[in-house]
Chain A
């Protein structure tokens, strides 16, 4: 489903060059649940942003469903993202000015789906994630666990083929963290591919495979055992 070839990312300020990723080659299969682990600053989030088409590599290729995507225009990358990828962030990243319902609806906002159909889909997801009673609340009115559930709802509402989660449990207590992990597991069992960046050894255990990064290089688990 997703493959990188010699992926490099160098951040440049006026005088200093920081290499975030060095010739990273990984492959993710359809239906897999992969955890990217490693110490702070090893390049986990950079890798996730790259495969989520939020950022462009300095060098190397990214193949998404067989197509090289890293050098596409922002416009085209946005379309691919919109149709295929859902995101979950550590800091939830909900829009404060939108209600729960509107936040979850957001991925549909930029599509041509009819409002009635849209509403039904959002309602279904909210129901599934037990958020229906909170649908008209604003993010500030929710607990951290609830906020992350909303973020998960937003990530899954459009049935993306791939969900990218960047430390989804990082801001949650253990109970809420477990809940979110259970949610991700269920989604994976229903067929969604999940790539998750995490610090937590416990939560990494939910994944079928761990990719270990150190200093911008993959040191373990770049390819599935199935290959």
Chain B
């Protein structure tokens, strides 16, 4: 019996190709959405579980409170983990990662850029999971000059060669020997790296620079310097909560007595490894948001539900075509439950076909999805086997749910009525179907408006005057090597000879983006006040290069435009330039010559100038207080202003000169404007997601409307026939049919417009700099709602209107 159901189902699918296509397409999109959501959720829920000890590993992060204001950092002192092991018997082992960022490594005279470089200890192999595919993890990082690299890095540098025992040279000229290669870490581990280097090299270097006590973790002074990512492994029988409670006392025990003088206190943050990805700490790897998971799950099920309801809608809309079959089957003795089984079989079959296409859609969409969600999802790897059968079970369920309404609806026909050719006038459920379409259209209109508003706001943010001249400035991050320090001045002098180079300056970090914080002290009412201000270390050419105007006072003095010529106490300057926000924050009406320093004592320095506020960070925030520190050495971030004309030629020229002075570092530049765009990456991502989601909403709404319109035109077949016999033309019939649906679109607009207004108003208010609600977006969305609805209904209406009226009447 089942095989016969399948046979009829397949014949039906083949016979009504357009309808089947729409139904399968709708369900495919819904299922593809669900598959992506399941993959995404699984991926997020299993963050860091790649590491078999994940449940016993904790990260020690830092919580500082300065004058009652809390700052949380993902990093901690190199000294804290060994002290933990000494103090707490629960700690089985520890490992510290010291970040070197991106490095350019040399092998056989070729340069390779490698991201994710850390000094690290041998214990990493005991604590974290690594699948070693070449070499051995035994003593892989013990001692000096060893490096362990990831599979992809090995492939990049060594191609087919065996990497084990080969030497890699870093920009400082140090040589590391590859001891092991590990399989690339999956996308869902929080701390990702491609190369781990012997920690002993770092120790030796620091001891050479700072003396024999440089790595003495018993020296409490070091606890205040946070540099490393520290992880501890707890013994298996440990009571974790009790341990964490106990460990919080660490700050009081070692540091807070000393911190009191600066009104600064420390507390270790003991984070479970599996939670580190969801933290909101500074200096952390990119973090995820748990809220997004719930949101994604909601969106996925929502999508699927709508697809199911659309299926019901289209199926019932087509019920007239199936009525005769139902009647006949009943006449020859089919019971209602047998008919229900038949229709459910059919919908399950359609759902299964849809699953096939859904997998294809998911596979095609995955790269885009990964790019937007920042994930590395794949249908092939990192998926437990049981996810596939669960897709299948879900699909069967979806088929049953989708098929349930048409099955019950169709099987309820009275044979005596349908055999005669009369159809139940399906007014029943019409309201529900209309509500559904209104809902889908409202959602589409809201999405269209939101997309337009987000795009407009994004454009606005990117076109705002920032208080400096952002155009035609490129920024290069120089290597941390001695060659750079030696050759910079010569490099600078040579490029300045080029007519297309307007200026050059260095700073400790790119002039755009998140800046570091320092503790400053100043005097207020005879008392010393400490405060955390953002800071930048800049050379004396910086202000002029960036076009940042002074409001008061003067710039740093210099003899050569590169080095600060004022007085320094060791590395601490005696002069500072601050911005207006900082002056305001300190409460100075006349900031010049106010006592101000980052050396703890305000008497050690003074303010010499005030610059007008400029947006050194994104426009998500107003301009925060900033202090500029002068530099008497060259800083690593080079900014070069070039002329607007002949950019490619200028860049090519610069590259040649760069290669001459810094042969070991690639000419890896970025325009400041690109960097600014990166600050709005999340808005850009949002605008992309909104765009895709809008398209999907519109597609789904069209499908719903199509179902409704088909049903309506079938119900009115007789009316259309009579009207045509009476002389109505096709156009007036199309108008007649579309009129009803225009009403639905009007209702959708009435619902959607105010909702979109409130939503967007709320969203825009998060920005201190934002556009007003653009009326044009509303008009565009409204119009597109109508156009889309008319087009969709128009197709159906045209078909109904152009049918032969004789057939329409014969049908009765």
- Residues of A in contact with B, size category: 20 to 34
**A107 an interface residue at 8 Å Cβ cutoff?**
yes
**A59 an interface residue at 8 Å Cβ cutoff?**
no
> CA of A64 to CA of B95 in the docked complex: distance in angstroms?
90
Contact of A110 among B15, B332, B419 (CB under 8 A): B332
> CA of A89 to CA of B324 in the docked complex: distance in angstroms?
12
B333 & A82 in contact (Cβ 8 Å cutoff): yes
- Taking CB atoms and an 8 Å cut-off, the chain A residues in 54-75 that contact chain B are 54-55, 74-75
The interface stretch among A23-31, A91-99, A195-203 is: A91-99
B416 & A109 in contact (Cβ 8 Å cutoff): no
B333 & A79 in contact (Cβ 8 Å cutoff): yes
**A32 an interface residue at 8 Å Cβ cutoff?**
no
**B298 an interface residue at 8 Å Cβ cutoff?**
no
B328 & A49 in contact (Cβ 8 Å cutoff): no
Chain B residue at smallest Cβ distance from A86:
B332
Minimal beta-carbon separation of A136 from chain B (angstroms)? 13
**B8 an interface residue at 8 Å Cβ cutoff?**
yes
- Binary A-proximity of B312-337 (CB < 8 A = 1, otherwise 0): 00000000000011011111111110
Chain B residues with Cβ below 8 Å from A96 are 15, 325
> CA of A82 to CA of B329 in the docked complex: distance in angstroms?
10
**B11 an interface residue at 8 Å Cβ cutoff?**
yes
Minimal beta-carbon separation of B31 from chain A (angstroms)? 26
Chain A residues with Cβ below 8 Å from B15 are 96-97
- Taking CB atoms and an 8 Å cut-off, the chain B residues in 404-447 that contact chain A are 414-416, 419-421
B333 & A107 in contact (Cβ 8 Å cutoff): yes
Given A55-B414, A55-B416, A97-B15, verify A91-B332 contact (CB < 8 Å). no
Chain A residue at smallest Cβ distance from B414:
A55
> CA of A91 to CA of B421 in the docked complex: distance in angstroms?
10
Minimal beta-carbon separation of B733 from chain A (angstroms)? 26
**B4 an interface residue at 8 Å Cβ cutoff?**
yes
Contact of B328 among A52, A81, A106 (CB under 8 A): A106
> CA of A95 to CA of B342 in the docked complex: distance in angstroms?
14
Contact of A54 among B8, B336, B415 (CB under 8 A): B415
Chain A residues with Cβ below 8 Å from B333 are 78-79, 81-83, 107, 110-111
Question: Which residue, B11, B330, B419, has most C-beta atoms of chain A within 10 A?
Answer: B419
Given A54-B416, A109-B1, A110-B338, verify A97-B332 contact (CB < 8 Å). no
Given A45-B420, A95-B325, A97-B12, verify A102-B4 contact (CB < 8 Å). yes
> CA of A82 to CA of B333 in the docked complex: distance in angstroms?
4
Given A81-B333, A107-B333, verify A49-B4 contact (CB < 8 Å). no
A54 & B334 in contact (Cβ 8 Å cutoff): no
Chain B residues with Cβ below 8 Å from A94 are 328
> CA of A79 to CA of B334 in the docked complex: distance in angstroms?
9
> CA of A87 to CA of B330 in the docked complex: distance in angstroms?
11
> CA of A55 to CA of B416 in the docked complex: distance in angstroms?
6
- Binary A-proximity of B538-555 (CB < 8 A = 1, otherwise 0): 000000000000000000
Given A75-B335, A91-B421, A97-B15, verify A106-B416 contact (CB < 8 Å). no
B328 & A95 in contact (Cβ 8 Å cutoff): yes
> CA of A107 to CA of B338 in the docked complex: distance in angstroms?
13
Question: Which residue, B15, B330, B332, has most C-beta atoms of chain A within 10 A?
Answer: B332
Chain A residues with Cβ below 8 Å from B330 are 78
Contact of B11 among A74, A79, A97 (CB under 8 A): A97
A89 & B419 in contact (Cβ 8 Å cutoff): yes
Chain A residue at smallest Cβ distance from B1:
A109
Chain B residue at smallest Cβ distance from A155:
B332
**A154 an interface residue at 8 Å Cβ cutoff?**
yes
Given A106-B329, A106-B332, A110-B332, verify A49-B12 contact (CB < 8 Å). no
> CA of A94 to CA of B332 in the docked complex: distance in angstroms?
11
> CA of A181 to CA of B332 in the docked complex: distance in angstroms?
22
> CA of A93 to CA of B325 in the docked complex: distance in angstroms?
8
> CA of A54 to CA of B334 in the docked complex: distance in angstroms?
12
Chain B residues with Cβ below 8 Å from A154 are 332
Chain B residues with Cβ below 8 Å from A45 are 420
Chain B residues with Cβ below 8 Å from A109 are 1, 4, 329, 332, 334
> CA of A25 to CA of B473 in the docked complex: distance in angstroms?
102
> CA of A81 to CA of B332 in the docked complex: distance in angstroms?
7
Chain A residue at smallest Cβ distance from B324:
A93
A93 & B332 in contact (Cβ 8 Å cutoff): no
A97 & B325 in contact (Cβ 8 Å cutoff): yes
Chain A residue at smallest Cβ distance from B420:
A45
Chain B residues with Cβ below 8 Å from A81 are 331-333
Given A55-B414, A55-B416, A97-B12, verify A110-B4 contact (CB < 8 Å). no
Chain A residues with Cβ below 8 Å from B336 are 74-75
> CA of A109 to CA of B333 in the docked complex: distance in angstroms?
9
Chain A residues with Cβ below 8 Å from B416 are 49, 54-55
Chain B residue at smallest Cβ distance from A54:
B416
- Taking CB atoms and an 8 Å cut-off, the chain B residues in 1-45 that contact chain A are 1, 4, 8, 11-12, 15
> CA of A97 to CA of B9 in the docked complex: distance in angstroms?
9
Chain A residue at smallest Cβ distance from B337:
A75
> CA of A43 to CA of B421 in the docked complex: distance in angstroms?
17
Minimal beta-carbon separation of B236 from chain A (angstroms)? 62
A78 & B414 in contact (Cβ 8 Å cutoff): no
Chain A residue at smallest Cβ distance from B334:
A110
B335 & A87 in contact (Cβ 8 Å cutoff): no
Minimal beta-carbon separation of B90 from chain A (angstroms)? 70
> CA of A60 to CA of B327 in the docked complex: distance in angstroms?
25
Chain A residues with Cβ below 8 Å from B328 are 93-95, 106
Chain A residues with Cβ below 8 Å from B421 are 91
Chain A residues with Cβ below 8 Å from B415 are 54
B332 & A107 in contact (Cβ 8 Å cutoff): yes
Chain A residues with Cβ below 8 Å from B8 are 97-98
Chain A residue at smallest Cβ distance from B415:
A54
Minimal beta-carbon separation of B16 from chain A (angstroms)? 10
Chain A residues with Cβ below 8 Å from B12 are 97
> CA of A94 to CA of B328 in the docked complex: distance in angstroms?
8
Interface positions of B (Cβ within 8 A of A): 1, 4, 8, 11-12, 15, 324-325, 327-336, 338, 414-416, 419-421
Q: A93-B328, A111-B333 are in contact. List 10 more A-B contacts (CB 8 A).
A: A55-B416, A78-B330, A91-B421, A93-B324, A95-B325, A97-B15, A106-B329, A109-B1, A109-B334, A110-B338
15 A/B residue pairs, CB under 8 Å, sorted by A: A45-B420, A49-B416, A54-B415, A54-B416, A55-B414, A74-B336, A75-B336, A89-B419, A97-B12, A97-B15, A106-B329, A109-B1, A109-B334, A110-B329, A110-B333
For the complex of A and B, 10 pairs with smallest distance between CB atoms: A82-B333, A55-B416, A54-B416, A49-B416, A107-B332, A97-B11, A110-B333, A54-B415, A106-B332, A95-B325
